[in-house]
Structure 1
């Protein structure tokens, strides 16, 4: 589970990259020019259900939509602040190795996917699937990383073990460490820092503009007067892990953006995750339960979930209202997050 962290201030030196043309909305690409992408003075904006259908189609492809136009050219060297307290100078971004799936999504969406030489186990999207894997379980293999001759490595403060990161750095490879993304506000910060480290700050601005536009359109589809209570449950049945999300879980910011109320936060859970009890569930009284798809599978689907003490006593349990999203997407906080909000807006507000 992610840990919270405040993004550090960063700086870069060198000339800005050539201006990248601002991309069209991601939803339009997902719709393929269908009803969701209608334009013109008399065209109505797509409904929540239309946006959700388009978002589901795009997520089903498990593919990314890069910025339009030619890939940006890096203008280097740049010196940036790393979240491990170091200043890191990047002189060459021709062989990029992101050690985090969310970071990799941003790199690919910036248009730099052809420079990526390897992947972390959490980079599960289609464009990355054939890249060499440099992790064993969730631990980074320094030997595997160095064998790919990266010119810059992007990690986050959760990446480890620390000995492997030190070994990569000691071999002369610049390692830029980022704070984990744990809420919606982190998306733009993370995109900016990655773009600056790779010498393409204008592409970062273009991507942030696109994400902001798509998020605003998703929020505009929230039905007026609807404020359902949504509980985020993190479950791994095989490991007997049953947790409820509270303040700082990451899901709380998504639920809020979708125009709903985080049931855990409202019931007083002031930690990101708290062991699940029937008393806590009954107190929270969620109208909707939000889960990762593999988490629901691990407890035997909706029927198995209803056997968890307290679930049947909630409005969500009584109406079987459970919303799931793929594990690698729900809390990724990256370029595909607007699609997550589109789906949540539609599903959590359904009668």
Structure 2
């Protein structure tokens, strides 16, 4: 009997040892080793566009984002949880992306340079590049496209429907206020938005009209363009206004004082990402801008 018990004891110890080794091996298979730490494996997303990052987060996958571009600033928490890789068009390297051991790289056609896109495709990492349309319908399509790339099967309709709910609260003006958008990066870097820009689309969604229609895209701001456009309201990003020392600085820009906006001090600012990302917050942005226009365009 003693011999049988000894055999059973030895068998139990061997079984326990094999089991422990199997658990260790399984644990190793479920981790990814980086240069300095070992992290749990799973989806590891690099998002190279602010709107895409917003969608990923809105779908509940924010914790899977390990790297982001400089425009990915919403939600606030992503700025701390994901590594800032810089600007897609200026200085972002494929080496910086690969260091994060991504399993999925997401971006948009308008942002990724041909060179970076080619390197991403050559890396062998799964990547999806979206064609973004700057409209309410385009925002809803982006939500659907990102969900498909994530193989996200939960209902996305509530996120899309919120855009329409917010847009329904946009107040219609009897006469659309003329809005001039100035992109500012200091007093010596002032650009004005023409036609075909995301900011023009947002102005129109908010019930306004672009004050400048003589050219497409952006051009350097001149006093002549300001006076010719004669906007009722001048709009800037919050960061842009800060770069020229606030509203008082905007009013000192040559030509501003001769416009209706300048005379009435109708200068408004909003967060740049909110205004131009055209992601889940598109309706919220239009409603917010509409409210500011209603207060200032009398």
User: Which TM-score band applies after superposition, normalised by the shorter structure?
Assistant: 0.7 to 0.9
Q: Distance in 2 between matches of 1:163 and 1:244?
A: 29
How many angstroms apart in 2 are the aligned matches of 1:233 and 1:191? 29
Q: Taking CA–CA contacts closer than 8 Å with sequence separation of 6 or more, which of the two structures ends up with the larger relative contact order?
A: 1
Aligned-pair CA distance for 1:248: 0.9
CA contact (8 A) 1:102 1:333 kept: yes
- Do structure 1's residue 186 and structure 2's residue 131 form an aligned pair? no
In structure 1, the residue matched to 2:194 is 246
Give the superposition deviation at 1:148.
Answer: 2.2
What CA distance in whole angstroms lies between the structure 2 residues aligned with 1:224 and 1:181? 25
State the number of aligned residues.
253
RMSD: 2.3
Q: 1:235 aligns to what?
A: 184
More moved, 96-105 vs 315-324: 96-105
Match of 2:162 among 210, 233, 242: 210
- SS of structure 2 residue aligned to 1:347: helix
**CA distance, structure 1, for counterparts of residue 173 and residue 273 of structure 2:** 30
Please say which structure displays the higher CA radius of gyration: 2
Question: Higher helix fraction: Structure 1 or Structure 2?
Answer: 2
Contact 1:226 1:259 in 2 (8 A): no
> Match for 2:206 among 258, 261, 271?
258
Pair 288,136 (structure 1): closer, same or farther in 2 beyond 3 Å: closer
- Judge conservation of contact 1:227–1:261 (CA < 8 Å) in 2: yes
Contact 2:192 2:218 (8 Å CA) reproduced: yes
Inter-partner Cα distance in structure 1 for 2:65 and 2:135: 26
**Which segments of 5 or more consecutive residues in structure 1 lack a partner in the other structure?**
1-91
Q: Does 1:319 align with 2:269?
A: no
Matches within 5 A, 1:1-351: 94-125=43-74, 126-137=76-87, 138-160=90-112, 162-200=114-152, 203-216=155-168, 218-219=169-170, 222-237=171-186, 240-265=188-213, 269-350=214-295, 351=298
Give the Cα–Cα distance (whole angstroms) in 2 for the partners of residues 102 and 178 of structure 1.
Answer: 11
Secondary structure in 2 matching 1:199: coil
TM-score scaled by structure 2? 0.76
Give secondary structure in 2 for the equivalent of 1:111. Answer: coil
Normalising by structure 1, report the TM-score.
Answer: 0.66
